Amino acid sequence: MNKTKKYIQEIRKQGYTIVRNVLSDKNINSINKDIKRVLIESCYNICDKKEILSYKKKNIDFLYNYLKQKSPQLKAHCYDVLSKLAIVNKYINNNKLYDIAKEYLKETLIINSAQLRVDDPSDDRMLPWHQELEQMSLITLNVWLPLTNITEKSGGLSVIPESHKKGLQKHIIEKEINSYFRLPRKLLEKETQIPLFMNAGDAIIFHSFLFHKSTSNISKRNRWTIVFRYNQLSTMPYLKSPKAKMFMKRNPKANEPGHNFIKNFKMNIK
């Protein structure tokens, strides 16, 4: 069996697969260099000019944490710009990932913009259990590609294998806890939840319906990850109706513009 077929079988069966060595250490170093360049460009504006020489010798964690502490707004601007790094977009154009997505989704693939996530040990971006919705298409293959090693300490993604077979689920918000949509706890009881460990440069590819969540970063380093999605053409409302929005809602309904195809999906949305 060829390798692509093995990955496809795993995605079909368990809802995800891990592809090793998508990025080499050399690739990651090049990305880190560009991340550092962006962070330094902002640091120049808020640090003492005498300090800047020593800051050039610091790593990206130091610079990111410094910006976050000194100017959360400027850090947020960096965050926005980092996702648009040309080098990130160059490396997500990966043949192995493309072939898997193409073979699995069987259609012309659409990529919506990549994101570069930073999860520092304050864990202020932890996502509760969810499916990957609010994308351009209902069915997407999502790529989660860490630039740092994923260990018990760094935290990363936990998944519930085979949960993608349960179909589309209704998400709720618990306002008293945070503003993130989550799956109801009832759905998660008795399910096997497994944390995924991997090396920097390996990638998880997972189905949009797979139940997954962030896990805590209890290390001293930041967790840097590239996240992007292959969207399936035939489940993209935007192409089906002049009234459709480009991105779908968290809890989409079949009677919304361009959403009629949702009727064909097993779902748990009333």
Ligand X SMILES: O=C(O)CCC(=O)C(=O)O
**Which residues form the interface with Fe ion (CB under 5 A)?**
132
Closest contact distance (angstroms) between CB of 77 and ligand X is 20
Residue 16: closest CA among 225, 168, 159, 124: 159
Neighbour count for residue 55 (Cβ, 10 Å)? 17
Rounded-to-integer distance, Cα 7 and Cα 180, Å: 31
Query: Which residue, 164, 214, 160, is CA-closest to 192?
Result: 160
Ranges within 25-84 binding ligand X (CB under 6 A): none
Number of residues that bind ligand X (CB under 6 A): 9
Residues 169-228 interacting with ligand X (rule: CB under 6 A): 212, 214, 225, 227
Strand order in the sheet with 157-159: 194-195, 157-159, 212-214
CA angle at residue 156 from 96 to 76, to 5 degrees? 95
Rule CB under 6 A: say whether 18 interacts with ligand X: no
Q: Which one, 94 or 214, has the nearer CB to ligand X?
A: 214
Q: Which residue is nearest to ligand X (CB)?
A: 214
Binding test (CB under 6 A) with ligand X, winner from 117, 166, 207, 259 = 117
Question: Of the candidates 132, 136, 167, which has an alpha carbon nearest to the alpha carbon of residue 235?
Answer: 136
Which of ligand X, Fe ion, none sits in contact with 117, Cβ below 5 to 8 A by type? ligand X
The option from Fe ion, ligand X, none interacting with 81 (CB < 5 to 8 A, set by class) reads: none
Q: Which of 14, 15, 119, 267 binds ligand X (CB under 6 A)?
A: 119
Query: Contact positions toward ligand X, by CB under 6 A?
Result: 117, 119, 127, 132, 157, 212, 214, 225, 227
